[in-house]
Homo-oligomer: A and B are copies of this chain.
Amino acid sequence: MTIAEANEFRTLCDTAGIAVTHQRQVVFEALRHMHGHPSPEEVYARVRIRIPSISLATVYKTIHLFIESGVFREVSLHHGSLRVETNARPHHHLVCTGCKSISDIDAEALEIGARARKLPGGFLAQRYAVDVLGLCAECQKSLS
């Protein structure tokens, strides 16, 4: 880890009010240098090279801590389990970052427009699914 990264990490921890531990530094650096959307197992595999004694539980705890602190995001804020769309109309989702609730909004009401000309790697676009992330009315109240 570079000096700059170490300092940045120290500052992040100060802001979040959490301890700077060796495990957290190594997980932080691993994530910083990984590409794509790694799973906890993949992070664990990488971190174990530098800390063979680290446990998967610590990796999970650390990742959640980073997500709560806003240091990293998770790829999908949706339910972790399988959910079925019962709404047959074209629609998008309002996802509350507070209570994790998901409600539907008609595609027309969102008035979304995407004008991608070329998508990387010859990707063929068929449909757009938009999550509007924010706070539902209830969670806005709770925070005020």
Contact = CB atoms under 8 A, between A and B. Distances in A.
Interface of A: 31-32, 34-40, 43, 60, 63, 66-67, 72-87, 93-97, 102-105, 109-117, 119-137, 140
A110 B129 CA distance: 13
A43 to B, nearest CB: 7
Nearest to A85: B73
A122 B96 CA distance: 12
22 contacts: A31-B86, A35-B86, A36-B104, A37-B79, A37-B83, A37-B85, A39-B81, A39-B83, A63-B82, A63-B84, A75-B83, A103-B123, A110-B116, A111-B117, A112-B113, A112-B115, A119-B134, A122-B140, A123-B137, A125-B133, A126-B133, A128-B131
A115 B110 CA distance: 6
Given A37-B79, A85-B72, A120-B103, A129 B130 contact: yes
Contacts of A132: 114, 116, 119, 123, 125, 127-128
